[in-house]
Amino acid sequence: MSFAEWKPVLVSIGLSEDEVTAEATREEAGLDSLALMELSLVLRQRFGVVVTDEEMHEATTIAEVVELIDARRAG
């Protein structure tokens, strides 16, 4: 799935439509530590994709977060 396909998921956990861009850092997009945990929960429950909070913390930008999710989904 592309960034455009994952963006609605990021917005659904309460991030701003405007702030969620591929280039944005996690901080700029508002993806703080609690939001990362919420994202992990949603990914597991709604998509069956398991990404740990620790792995999420490694990603710097939203593009990297999406890349990580896609990699896990493919795996």
Partner 1 sequence: MAAGEVCVTGLGLLTAAGDGVAATWERVLRGEPTAVVEHDPGPVHLACRVAAFDQARIGAIRARKPDRSTELAVLAAREAVADAGWDTARWDGARVGVVVGTSSGNAHTHEVQHRALLDGGPQDMSPFAVPSTLGNSVAAQLSMDLAAKGGCLTVNTACASGATALGVALDLLRAHRCDVVVAGGTDAPLTPYYIAGLDRVRALSQRFDDPAGAPRPFDADRDGFVLAEGAGMLVLERSDDARARGARPRARLLGYGAASDAHHVAQPCPAGSGLTAAIRAALHDAQVTAGEVGYVNAHATGTPLGDRIEAAVLAELLPHRPAVSSTKAVTGHPQGAAGAIEVALTVLTVQTGTMPPNVNLDQADVGVDLDLLTRPRTGPVPLALTTSVGFGGHNAVLAVAAP
Distance CA 53, CA 5 (A): 21
**Residue (13 or 74) nearer to partner 1, CB:** 13
Q: Among residues 38, 2, 1, 31, which one has the least CA distance to residue 16?
A: 31
Q: Is 14 helix (H, G, I), strand (E, B) or coil?
A: coil
**In the complex with partner 1, which residue's Cβ is closer, 31 or 74?**
31
Min dist. Cβ of residue 16 to partner 1 (A): 4
Residue 29: C-alpha distances to residues 45, 55, 72 (Å): 22, 18, 22
Minimum Å distance from CB 69 to partner 1?
A: 18
Residues binding partner 1 (CB under 8 A): 11, 13-17, 19, 30, 34-35, 37-38, 41, 45
* Closest distance of CB 52 from partner 1, Å: 11
